[in-house]
Every structure is written in structure tokens, then in C-alpha cells.
Structure 1
């Protein structure tokens, strides 16, 4: 048991060291993603209620911007002003959840349509590495993947 604990601790410390090394060596790290949308309130409500992303302060305070937290040091910026358009599923944002079945039940309660890559409602797509995925669209037709990757 001690050996397993120390192996886990060592792996954690190594990953922290690698992340710090990458940052120290000038690696490019994700800061934010910006989505240009039709209705900032409708779209930000979707991301807050459906994907459960927390809102964070934004500096513009003009009613055209909403910022949401998508990772420890990453943000989603939602900006009003776009016109309605279609988007291809190949261009998508991907999020991971601990329990995909529980998240799918959450979507069902919200009345959100989702499905696999082929568009079959309520089904998942298995990746070759065993990760399960679903796909849905936000109010502006941007595609989202939600998966159960354990990385």
C-alpha cells in the first residue's frame, strides 16, 4: 500500500514538475477561447446551466461579454455580435466529465439533444482508447464534445 501511495505521489510531483518546466521553457499554454455569438445571455446561460461552468469577472462590463472558467487557468469568453450560422462538427470544443452517464441524465433533465458522432440521439461514440463521447450544440450551433477521458 505504501509503495502504491509513493508511486502515485511521485507521478503527481512529476506531472507538476513537467507543467512548470513547460511554462518555464516558454511553452504556449491555453489562456482562453472566444465564441462570437448572437445572444450573449442565452448562450452564457446555456454554458452555465448545461455545462455547469462558473461565471468569472470580466473587465469590459458592457453587457456584450461573459467570461466562464473552463480550467484552472483557462477561460471561455462569450462575446455578443455574431449572426446565426451553421458550424461543422469537426470544429468543436471538448469537455470531460467524471461520469458520462450522470452527465447524460443531466442533459435529459434539461431537455438538451445530444448523440454520437453519427447523430444518433442518446448514443455515445467510443474512441479507440476506450473513451466514450457525446456531441451536442449550443444555442449558436457551435459543436461540443463531452467525454469521460480520465487523463
Structure 2
């Protein structure tokens, strides 16, 4: 029906229009991460006192949810009802702090055990780009990384 050149041109126009439509919507952004926990009270205390996260209002008001701000437009949702289980260190939440040594001193004051990727206590893991990392677990054994990435 259409010549090969016209079909190519029409296909190209549709692809460009589709790409522009997707670009107009913007990139996908992280909204929230939900963590299913066994004890809301223990997890609340951990994320408030250890990670120093800011609690924000949550809409459920049922005593089973706590929400925390973890970025300009991102949240951490803690939800009561999980069952105890082990978690692999490869699946972890990662946070950045301006001063990792100061944060490690904070963990020491709270008697929170932490270490490098291999599990050596109070040691950091250096990434190839120079960022230093430590790892520890929350009350439900979810792994948490804290690093000094400056973005």
C-alpha cells in the first residue's frame, strides 16, 4: 500500500512521537519502599533512633503502619504483620550520610553491631569509586547499608 520509504518515515515519526510522549511524563521515580515487620514498636524505634529518619503522617491510622521520609519525594513504609525470617545481605536498603565516621560513632553509642560486607566488625567496605560502606541489620534482620556517597 505505502512505499518502503513512506512506511519507514511514518514508523520513524510514530517512534519519535512516542518517545516525546514518554519523555513528557518524566522518568520513573521511587515513591516508597514497604517493609513488613514483626514488631512495629521495635522497628519504629530502630528507624527513628538508629537511622534518625523523620516520621511522617500515614493515612491508615490503624496502629499497623509507620511512614518515614527517606528522600525529597520518597518514603519508607513500615507495616506490622511480618513473620520472622532470615534475609540475604544482597537485598538491602542503602542510605547515605555526610560523615560515615560520625555515624559509626552514633552506632557505637547505641551498641548497634555493624561491619563490612564480609562481616568484619566495625570495618568499612570500600567501593571501587571510593565510597565507604557499612552494613547492619534491623530488628527483623533486614540488611541496611550506610555509606558516604556524595552523589
> TM-score, normalising length from structure 2?
0.84
Written as runs of structure 1 = structure 2, the 5 A alignment for 1:2-151 is: 24-151=24-151
- Residues 82 and 130 of structure 1, relative CA distance in 2, 3 Å threshold: same
Shift of 1:27: 1.5
Residues 23, 29 of structure 1: 8 Å contact kept: no
Distance 1:66 1:82 in 2: 14
Gaps of 5+ in 1: 1-21
Deviation track 1:55-98 (CA, whole Å, cap 9, x = no partner) reads 00000000000000000100000000011000000000100000
After superposition, the C-alpha distances for 1:17-65 in whole angstroms (9 at most, x for unaligned) are xxxxx98433210000000000011101100000000100000000000
Structure 1 residues 23 and 124 mapped into 2: Cα distance closer, same or farther (>3 Å)?
A: farther
Structure 1 residue runs of 4 or more that deviate by more than 6 Å after TM superposition: none
CA-atom RMSD, angstroms? Answer: 1.2
CA–CA distance in structure 2, aligned partners of residues 36 and 23 of structure 1: 34
Highest CA radius of gyration, 1 or 2? Answer: 2
The DSSP-based 3-state class of the residue aligned with 1:27 is: coil
Cα distance in 2 for partners of 1:148, 1:27 equals 25
Relative to the length of structure 1, the TM-score reads 0.84
For structure 2, which runs of at least 5 residues remain unmatched after alignment? 1-21
Separation of aligned partners in 2, 1:111 and 1:70? 23
Deviation at 1:135, TM superposition (A): 0.2
What is residue 13 of structure 2 aligned with on the other side? none
